[in-house]
Amino acid sequence: MKYSVFSLLREALRGHTGWTPAWRKAEPKAQYDVVIVGGGGHGLATAYYLAKEHGITNVAVLEKSTIGSGNAGRNTTIIRSNYLLPGNEAFYEWSMKLWEGLEQDFNYNAMVSQRGVLNLYHSDAQRDAYARRGNSMRLHGADAELLDRVAVQRMAPYLDFENARFPIHGGLLQRRGGTARHDAVVWGYARGADTRGVDIIENCEVTGIDIRDGRIISLDTTRGAIRANKIGLAVAGNTARVAALAGLRLPIESHVLQAFVSEGIKPAIDSVVTFGAGHFYISQSDKGGLVFGGDIDGYNSYAWRGNMPVIEDVMEAGMALWPGLGRIRMLRQWGGLMDMSMDGSPIIDRTGVDGLYLNCGWCYGGFKATPASGWCFAHLIARDEPHSGAAAMRLDRTMTGAVIDEKGAGAQPNLH
């Protein structure tokens, strides 16, 4: 069913009795051309673009739980393309362009809101670094504006401009950045893939990968064996576990990142604002809750929950940026598993195993990448060659030395 104002009117007149489920609960078949492991945003986007852009529709998406229940349902919903390095920025700007046309493309309201992303700077050196970043963004076709203190004050007068230690000198603004409704992104891709024939199979955990003569043959799952010509892994924090089934050892550590939502308040903040003197970012959801987060906890974890010191650190950063936050109560907090790579950038590539493809290393920035990640991964799987936008995101870059390290932090995942 195509969603439109006409279908809405028709159903309003019929008492909303004609709506059908947005996707089928598919049963696994014995064989698929492509099996995507991981029913999050990236996996479903990959299946969607495989069907839509490459005409490959004998595809299954296997999800061990329910779709969108991992990081796709646990992020702070920010979309932006404000990276510095050529290997990254072109990719994220392509993602931004896909976001801009996404809702029309998959006929679903993903509530993409280009409300602007403002990165604050607090020193002359940081201003220079942001000017350079803005120039890099513009060179790659993205938008960036360097704002002075007065312009930031006009945008967000409630911030602590006179903070003795970290006065706000200005900010780098990407007006096209903003937020999207994370669950709706998952549902939109699921629906778009399903209508094109993709089987979305939930509660189906992969327990083994059968490889013969260096080539994948089939997958063992909790719902039986499934043969596949090609397998794509898009399992984020569980990458090491699933890849180990194929004997792969990867440059990935799984870390926990916490995020926070306050009680719902009236509209207070109309863009995304990030603190430049600590790691803190904040926006407001359409329900009124302030959505914010900061650093990862910093140690290997598969526990889906973090610890108090990071919560305290995030709150302190929030208070330094916006003292008024102290009058608002934190409502809830959660943790997700980040697939932290060794250089802080993702991997979309073939593996040493024939027919097995890898999509991982999103660190804590995977949500904004969802459309381009799916687009480039689908291209890689369909044509067996990297998409030009993700050509630098190779698995062997740690060996060749062509790492993409935005922060220059080195091979230390908890510092990215």
Partner 1 sequence: MRIPCSFCGPRGNEEFTYLGDATVRRPDPAAPNAMQAFHDYVYLRENPSGLHQELWFHGSGCRSWLIVTRNTRTHEISDVKFALRGGEA
39 belongs to the binding site for partner 1 (CB under 8 A) = no
Q: Out of 399, 402, 407, 408, which residue is the one contacting partner 1 (CB under 8 A)? A: 399
* Residues of this chain, 369-398, that bind partner 1 according to CB under 8 A: 398
Contact status, residue 340 vs residue 296, Cβ threshold 8 Å = yes
Contact status, residue 286 vs residue 268, Cβ threshold 8 Å = no
333 belongs to the binding site for partner 1 (CB under 8 A) = no
Nearer to partner 1, 333 or 398 (CB): 398
* Residues of this chain, 193-212, that bind partner 1 according to CB under 8 A: none
User: Mask 298-317, x = binds partner 1 (CB under 8 A)?
Assistant: xxxxxx---xxx--x-----
Q: Give the SS3 label for residue 159.
A: coil
Contact status, residue 46 vs residue 193, Cβ threshold 8 Å = no
Nearer to partner 1, 17 or 400 (CB): 400
Q: Out of 253, 295, 349, 406, which residue is the one contacting partner 1 (CB under 8 A)? A: 253
> Minimal distance in Å, beta carbon 302 to partner 1?
4
CA-to-CA separations, 356 to 62, 200, 399, in angstroms, rounded: 15, 19, 20
> Minimal distance in Å, beta carbon 95 to partner 1?
26
> Minimal distance in Å, beta carbon 305 to partner 1?
8
Name residue, tokens 């120039």.
Answer: 135
Find the largest Cα–Cα distance for the chain. 66
Give every CB contact of residue 154 below 8 A, 6+ residues apart in sequence.
Answer: none
> Minimal distance in Å, beta carbon 345 to partner 1?
13
User: Mask 211-250, x = binds partner 1 (CB under 8 A)?
Assistant: ---------------------------x-xx-------xx
Q: Out of 57, 163, 333, 414, which residue is the one contacting partner 1 (CB under 8 A)? A: 414
C-alpha angle 49-50-54 in degrees, rounded to nearest 5: 100
Q: Out of 201, 342, 380, 392, which residue is the one contacting partner 1 (CB under 8 A)? A: 342
> Minimal distance in Å, beta carbon 237 to partner 1?
9
Using the Cα atoms of residue 150, residue 156, residue 161 and residue 165 in order, give the sign of their dihedral: negative
Contact status, residue 183 vs residue 108, Cβ threshold 8 Å = no
> Minimal distance in Å, beta carbon 240 to partner 1?
4
Nearer to partner 1, 155 or 411 (CB): 411
Contact status, residue 121 vs residue 173, Cβ threshold 8 Å = no
Q: Out of 171, 232, 251, 374, which residue is the one contacting partner 1 (CB under 8 A)? A: 251
- Within 13 Å, how many C-alpha atoms sit on residue 244's CB side? 7
> Minimal distance in Å, beta carbon 375 to partner 1?
27
19 belongs to the binding site for partner 1 (CB under 8 A) = no
What is the CA 336 to chain-centroid distance, rounded? 12
351 belongs to the binding site for partner 1 (CB under 8 A) = no
> Minimal distance in Å, beta carbon 109 to partner 1?
36
345 belongs to the binding site for partner 1 (CB under 8 A) = no
402 belongs to the binding site for partner 1 (CB under 8 A) = no
Helix (H) or strand (E) holding 187: helix 182-195
Nearer to partner 1, 31 or 398 (CB): 398
d(CA 321, CA 152): 13
- Three-state SS letters, 272-313: EEEECCCCEEEEECCCCEEEEEEEEEEEECCCCCCCHHHHHH
63 belongs to the binding site for partner 1 (CB under 8 A) = no
Nearer to partner 1, 75 or 254 (CB): 254
> Minimal distance in Å, beta carbon 228 to partner 1?
24
327-352: burial string, b at 16+ Cβ within 10 Å, e else: ebebeeeebbbbbbbbbbbbbbbbbe
Site size toward partner 1, by CB under 8 A:
26
d(CA 95, CA 233): 20
Residues that bind partner 1 (CB under 8 A): 238, 240-241, 249-254, 298-303, 307-309, 312, 342, 398-399, 411-414
